[in-house]
């Protein structure tokens, strides 16, 4: 079973993603902020990281930097954000994000993108 970590400070979005992806058969690890996400990433191996961009303590861009530069991992990263400006999206990609979704997002679309990212990893 593929393991996905979801870092999101909005509890509602976190729960929604959890319910949606759990039903697809993935194992979901919930992180309420960036710091929690990094702590968990140090303890466990995951197949995909879904992260919000703006979170307390450590933001989404910092998570990408830590995973790519410090952990030296190629785990696919999907960024979720309400801010969809070109500069923000480009920055995330430059740092090493694999995909970007702008809120409000469709759960079906999320599911498809997750599946694609995991398939590409394999």
Note the residues at the interface with another protein (CB under 8 A): 10-13, 15-16, 19-20, 23, 82, 103-109
- The Cβ of residue 29 has, within 10 Å, a number of other Cβ atoms equal to 19
Q: Among residues 3 and 23, whose Cβ is nearest to another protein? A: 23
Taking the complex as a whole, how short is the minimal distance between the CB of residue 70 and another protein, in angstroms?
30
109, 80 Cβ separation under 8 angstroms: no
Q: Among residues 112 and 120, whose Cβ is nearest to another protein? A: 112
Specify the length of the chain in residues. 122
Taking the complex as a whole, how short is the minimal distance between the CB of residue 19 and another protein, in angstroms?
4
Q: Please state the separation of Cα 89 from the chain's center in Å.
A: 14
- Return the SS3 of 44: coil
Q: Among residues 10 and 65, whose Cβ is nearest to another protein? A: 10
Taking the complex as a whole, how short is the minimal distance between the CB of residue 79 and another protein, in angstroms?
14
- The Cβ of residue 90 has, within 10 Å, a number of other Cβ atoms equal to 12
């Amino acid at each position: 079973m593929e393991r996905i970590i979801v870092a999101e400070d909005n509890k509602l979005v976190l729960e929604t993603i959890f319910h949606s992806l759990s039903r697809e058969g993935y194992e979901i690890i919930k992180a309420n902020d960036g710091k929690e996400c990094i702590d968990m990433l140090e303890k466990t191996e995951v197949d995909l990281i879904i992260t919000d961009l703006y979170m307390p303590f450590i933001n989404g861009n910092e998570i990408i930097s830590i995973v790519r530069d410090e952990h030296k991992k190629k785990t696919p990263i999907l960024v979720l954000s309400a801010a969809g400006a070109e500069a923000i999206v480009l920055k995330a990609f430059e740092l090493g994000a694999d995909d970007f979704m702008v809120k409000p997002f469709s759960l079906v679309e999320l599911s498809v993108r997750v599946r694609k990212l995991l398939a590409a990893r394999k």
